[in-house]
Chain A
Amino acid sequence: MEALRGIDLAVSRGEFVSLVGPSGCGKSTLLRIVAGLSEPSAGTCRLGISRASGRIGFVFQDPTLMPWSTVAGNVLLPFRIAGAVDAAARERVAAAIEAVGLGGFERAYPHQLSGGMRMRVSLARALVTEPDLLLLDEPFAALDEITRHALNDDLLTLWRRHRPTILFVTHSVYESVYLSTRIAVLTRRPGRIAAELAVRLPHERERSLRSGPAYAAMCDEVSAALARAMAVDAPP
């Protein structure tokens, strides 16, 4: 089944690009192709970075943790797979857990954590190798709004720290505007890019932004683009 058609998207290093579109428009397929987990049936996907282990981080919609491992064990996974578990790796694991605000929970098991905390572990695991590219597939869709906002802010902080390139899939217009520097709007399946919008908001984003007029205007603009994208390919 054709999930995507005519995806033409160039992303520069250090950008935070959101992919917004209706459910089932092939956003996840696009991320899998970028990650090298799926092959495109036609076309190419070129990365200016290496696909070596740890250069790409991936966060799924559910936390995808190993229930038999502690928080530290889960975050250590990329190093265990690479066979590079040493003192330096353990230090980075501790730092990554600290960075997502889970200091003190290193020895907890996933079932002892809340949904938001589990997602933080998942983020820490994706960031622990300091990847050049971070792919996030609707990571906060299953969380309540308060947790979601908190994680949005944390993600921005983490992004500013190492400045990885981020491709962020979401179906929330508000989330995409709050987070990204650029937004690509996708159509229904087979998804193609209907519009690309630069987010004209200050780089430093705080919660107060959410209630400002500039933010509302930008959200309206993206919503309108999304409505047009869905109308274009609407089934007869």
Chain B
Amino acid sequence: MSERVVRIAAPLVVGAAFLLLWEWVVAAEQIPPYILPPPSLIAASLWTDGPSLLGSLLVTLRVTLAALAAAALIGGAIALLFSVSRAVELSFFPYAVMLQVTPVVAIAPLIIIWVHTPFLAMLVCAWIVAFFPIVSNTTVGLNSADRNLLALFRLYGASPVKTMWLLRLPTALPYFLAGLRISGGLALIGAVVAEFVAGTGGTETGLAFRILEAGYRLAVPRLFAALFLLSLTGIVIYLALDLVSRLILRRWHESARTGADE
């Protein structure tokens, strides 16, 4: 059996076995569905509540993707600024770290008070969580240009702009894309956290708010269904960014190369 088949089949077998065990335990122990619903009930709930949950998912996804785009743009720009001026980097990097380590749950209420548009408030929350990996990765990348190549650029009298464009930016690209892959998942988490805080204010109903609501009503199967959709979304975002990264780097970067062209 080829490695490829194993890589896909093995987790599927484990997942199926786990679901069967879950189903069996719930039935054998007669656990009520509001404590732990069996997978079959969750699947049924996914079927009946699916359309409305998908609508909520779209709301959450919009915040996530907008935050990710903003993180890529602004994060990339900040990294560029850092790499151009060491003084700027030294002065501002600690504050970027501070924004990163402060739990977003703790500052979300403030942001919701300050930013009146709910969509924008959630976008800011998600952005705060998502921008840091891009900033820190891209900054490292921009400063990782090969020393001999830098010497060569000097020998040929390259301007700083030329060196940035022809050497530093291409060097930083794989770092930026690695940051983007991390930020994709973080943006989703940020969006969900923001909704948990803001959603109760009666705004558009994203998936996180549906989870809260289902919890209050003890509609646990629906809660699980929403949770399942959320995880699935995270996985799809990661895979999509991974694919983008591979497509961009496939011609030259180690991370994107398969053994085939060796």
Contacts and interface: CB of A to CB of B under 8 A. Distances in A.
Given A68-B170, A111-B252, A112-B261, A77 B146 contact: no
A56 B155 contact: yes
Interface residues of B, number: 22
Interface in A86-116: 109-112
Interface stretch (B156-164, B195-203, B221-229): B156-164
B149 interface: yes
A62 B173 CA distance: 23
Interface string B229-262: 0000000000000000000000111100100010
A178 B35 CA distance: 84
B152 A53 contact: no
Given A64-B148, A77-B166, A112-B261, A82 B253 contact: no
Interface string A24-68: 000000001001110000000000000011101010101010111
A234 interface: no
B155 A35 contact: yes
Contacts, number: 56
A28 to B, nearest CB: 11
Contacts of B251: 68, 109
A81 B252 contact: no
A22 interface: no
B148 A80 contact: no
A69 B146 CA distance: 14
Contacts of A67: 252-253
B217 interface: no
A78 interface: yes
A111 B257 contact: yes
Contact of B149 (A56, A64, A110): A64
A60 B166 contact: no
Given A58-B151, A68-B252, A82 B170 contact: no
Nearest to A37: B151
Contact of A53 (B148, B151, B156, B166): B156
B94 to A, nearest CB: 32
A62 B166 CA distance: 20
Contact of A60 (B148, B253, B257): B148
A2 to B, nearest CB: 21
A82 B252 contact: no
Interface of B: 146, 148-149, 151-158, 162, 166-167, 170, 173, 251-254, 257, 261
The 5 closest A-B pairs by CB, nearest first: A53-B157, A64-B148, A81-B156, A81-B158, A68-B170
